[in-house]
Amino acid sequence: MATASAPGKVYLFGEHAVVYGEPAVPCAIERRATVTVEERADDRLRIDAEDLSLDGFTVEFSGSTDESPSVDVSESLLTAAMGYVDAAVDQARDAADRPNAGFDVTIDSDIPLGAGLGSSAAVVVAGIEAGTRELGVELSRAELAERAYQVEHEVQDGQASRADTYCSTMGGAVRVEGDRCETIEAPDLPFVVGYDGGAGDTGELVSGVRALKDEYDFAADTVTAIGDIVRQGERALEAGDVDELGRLMDFNHGLLSALGVSARSLDAMVWGAREAGAKGAKLTGAGGGGCIVALDESSATETALEYTPDCEQVFRARLDKEGVRLEP
């Protein structure tokens, strides 16, 4: 039996635009998905995901994710969640040259599913690490990140970027632009995360931005402008200018909203944070529901979000510099 965990993430800047080759800066946070893998005698796969959804689920199958359990999340999110685990197991089998290996997989996550905090990437990274270790194979972090990206690329019909999986593998702050990924230095920024209790459909949201970009030149220009914000943000990050980072986060949220990926609940939390004195606030991840991230060293933003009707949960999120790791 092998157990591995990997962190979730928030986007400082660049979600959606990163799909089109613009840079993005995600930061790993101390919220983790933990995956335990134990090889079994047959070739079947059993997934026990107590904390992956609101109700949790257990399903056993072989060669297909068609056997959908009944849980309180959308069918598209459920299909994706099972697809990520199935594809991660396939990557572990491939790495170990054990195509018929069967597994019992247990997932324990404190990252909300579909909320924009990189739950799928964390599950995939931890799943591949645990699966390969169970089969006696140790992957380099570079190969692990690449295999995890291939999983998201497959499940998201070719629309995934390397940002989430690379960040979850490496930890800390990372810069992603196309196929180029690197870790970058960042201070321990005062992240505050607000969660509306919902979840967006990443595939639908990414497709929606693509449709706008294809139809309107100004939508394509908006995507480019997000890339410009990222580059300016990198300079502010290097200088440790938190005030400038906050202003740029506000710009980034406005452009994402123009692309149709925000939601009333996200906007309410963003404005609640700003009015409380946060340096800046924006949605994080695909949008459509889920989480916002703000910068505030004081407790004012946390207090304000606790009293925002659309906010179900609020917490501080420290930068997690460790990335994927084996657990005892």
pLDDT at residue number 56: 40
Structure tokens at 245: 């980072």
Residue 41 has pLDDT above 80, yes or no: yes
pLDDT at residue number 59: 45
pLDDT at residue number 62: 47
Q: Are both 178 and 243 inside the same structural domain?
A: no
Per-residue pLDDT of 98-121, as tens digits, reads 999 999 998 888 887 777 898 889
- Residue 64: which domain range? 2-185
Residue that finishes a domain, picked among 185, 209, 230: 185
Q: What angle do CA 36, 184, 3 make, to 5 degrees?
A: 5
Q: What is the mean pLDDT of residues 52-56?
A: 43
Question: Of 90, 164, 196, 310, which one is the catalytic site residue?
Answer: 164
pLDDT at residue number 70: 43
Q: What is the mean pLDDT of residues 69-76?
A: 45
List the CATH number of the domain containing 149. Answer: 3.30.230.10
Q: Are both 255 and 110 inside the same structural domain?
A: no
Alpha-carbon span 88 to 130, nearest angstrom = 10
Of the candidates 126, 92, 93, 133, which has an alpha carbon nearest to the alpha carbon of residue 111?
A: 126
Residue 75 has pLDDT above 70, yes or no: no
Q: Are both 207 and 253 inside the same structural domain?
A: yes
Least confident range of 47-56, 67-76, 224-233: 67-76
Q: Is there a contact between 10 and 27 (Cβ–Cβ < 8 Å)?
A: yes
Residue that finishes a domain, picked among 165, 185, 205: 185
Residue indicated by tokens 């906050």 = 246
Of the candidates 13, 10, 83, which has an alpha carbon nearest to the alpha carbon of residue 317?
A: 10
Using DSSP's 3-state secondary structure scheme, residue 286 falls into coil
**Residue 164: active-site member:** yes
**Confidence grade of residue 46 (pLDDT, cut at 50, 70, 90):** confident
Q: Is residue 325 part of a domain?
A: no
Q: Is residue 63 part of a domain?
A: yes
**Confidence grade of residue 57 (pLDDT, cut at 50, 70, 90):** very low
Q: What is the mean pLDDT of residues 281-304?
A: 95
Q: What are phi and psi of 278, to 5 degrees?
A: -60, 145
Average pLDDT, whole number, for the chain?
Answer: 88
Per-residue pLDDT of 241-259, as tens digits, reads 999 999 999 999 999 999 9
Q: Are both 266 and 201 inside the same structural domain?
A: yes
**Confidence grade of residue 79 (pLDDT, cut at 50, 70, 90):** low
Q: Are both 150 and 239 inside the same structural domain?
A: no
pLDDT at residue number 81: 60
Q: Are both 195 and 253 inside the same structural domain?
A: yes
Q: Is residue 327 part of a domain?
A: no
Q: Are both 174 and 201 inside the same structural domain?
A: no
List the CATH number of the domain containing 293. Answer: 3.30.70.890
Least confident range of 36-40, 108-112, 130-134, 263-267: 108-112
Structure tokens at 82: 């099972």
Q: Are both 32 and 87 inside the same structural domain?
A: yes
Q: What is the mean pLDDT of residues 65-81?
A: 48
Per-residue pLDDT of 123-137, as tens digits, reads 999 999 999 999 999
Q: Are both 137 and 222 inside the same structural domain?
A: no
Residue 155 has pLDDT above 60, yes or no: yes
Residue that finishes a domain, picked among 185, 206, 234: 185
Alpha-helix residue ranges (DSSP H) falling in 156-216: 163-170, 202-215
Q: What is the mean pLDDT of residues 224-246?
A: 95
Number of compact structural domains in the chain: 2
Q: Is residue 34 part of a domain?
A: yes
At 57, the amino acid letter reads F
Alpha-carbon span 39 to 102, nearest angstrom = 6
Q: Which residues contact 66 (CB under 8 A, 6 or more apart)?
A: none
